[in-house]
Amino acid sequence: MTPINDRINRRIALVQLTAATMLAAGAARAQRPDPSLAQIKTTDLGHKTYMLEGQGGNILVVIGDDGIIMVDAELAPLHDKIKTAIADNSNLPIKYLIDTHFHGEQTGGNAPFHRDGAIVVAQDNVRVRLLAGTTNGLNYNKSLPAHPDAIPTETYVGGTKTVEVRGRRALLTHATNAHTDGDSWIHLADADVIFTGDLFYNNDRYPMIDYANGGDIRGMIRANEAFLKLATAETKIVSSRGAVAGKAQVAEFRDMLATARDRMAAMVGKGTTEEEALAAKPFADLDAKWAGNDRDSVNFIRMAYNSFKRS
């Protein structure tokens, strides 16, 4: 086979994989559960702190003496059910709604909770992404600019930010270029809880790394190393995905990411193309635990590869 034909065949293969990814994403959207049937499950984390599970990412609820801090809002149609679940433990107002990043499963409920009176807080890139709209690098799906009521009104640029109600304090830390370019993770020292958003997954699946919007596997690793450094054996580590975890689960997830990073860095350093990386299946041994299907395997290769290629 000539070099030209070889390149053409590789490009055809990549187009086919991309088309398959887009079809699968469309099918997944069509199969999303009916919000009217959703049940909100509450887990007591102690010290008037709760995790709520619904149909989007998990929510953290922090109850103070004069108000509530809520982290992430799931989807707008779940607003009333989320409020009812919170009211089972407190009738105080939600003073602050913190977005861990801009994706719809975290910010979809921003507008109704903001209209209820909550101040929406986020790292400033969340505001920028929601104002402009975004494009997914894997399937090229576009998200339109968000409604003005959904835009964070209190932001920070880098480092950390403190959000307080009387008797409770949440420390936000910006994870630079990790799941996205606007991730915040939250530490509640009084409850010994770390809320990671999508920086850590506790569901035995590869994470989504949104490289088209600043995500990078290396930033994901740095964030999980920060969790491991801060946490003790008793710390409750809460992800947007899955049940409450501890240091062992975070360490396993970090190790998987580090293995993938090192393999991909070596391939990129040798000049490997994305098509060649896909054909090589460099994470085949990891797939047995972390890939739910072939699409997950392909997508994670693409996310790791493009972490090193993003501008």
- Residue 12: count of CB within 10 angstroms of its CB: 11
* Burial category of 138 from C-beta neighbours within 10 Å (exposed 0-12, middle 13-18, buried 19 and up): buried
pLDDT of 67: 98
* pLDDT at 247 > cutoff 80: yes
Is there a domain that residue 16 lies in?
no
pLDDT band at 28 (very low <50, low <70, confident <90, very high): very low
Residue 68 domain-assigned? Answer: yes
Q: What is the pLDDT of residue 29?
A: 46
- Residue 9 located in a structural domain: no
As a whole number of angstroms, the distance between CA 7 and CA 167 comes to: 62
When pLDDT is averaged across residues 92-118 and rounded to a whole number, the result is: 97
For residue 141, is it within any domain?
yes
Q: Residue 35's pLDDT band (boundaries 50, 70, 90)?
A: confident
The domain of 149 spans 39-307
Using the predicted structure, report yes or no on whether residue 148 has a pLDDT greater than 50. yes
**Percentage of residues in the chain with pLDDT exceeding 90?**
85
Q: Which amino acid is at 231?
A: A
Give the strand pairing for 193-202 and 236-242.
Answer: parallel
In a domain, 54, yes or no: yes
Amino acid at 139: N
Is 160's pLDDT higher than 70?
A: yes
Residue 18 included in any domain: no
pLDDT at 281 over 80: yes
Does some domain include residue 288? yes
Number of structural domains found in the chain: 1
Residue 228: inside a domain? yes
> For the segment 65-81, what is each residue's pLDDT rounded down to a tens digit?
999 999 999 999 999 99
pLDDT tens figures, 186-198: 999 999 999 999 9
With a cut of 80, say whether residue 33 has pLDDT above it: no
∠ CA 291-296-300, nearest 5°, is 100
What's the mean per-residue pLDDT of the chain? 92
Which CATH number characterizes residue 48's domain?
A: 3.60.15.10
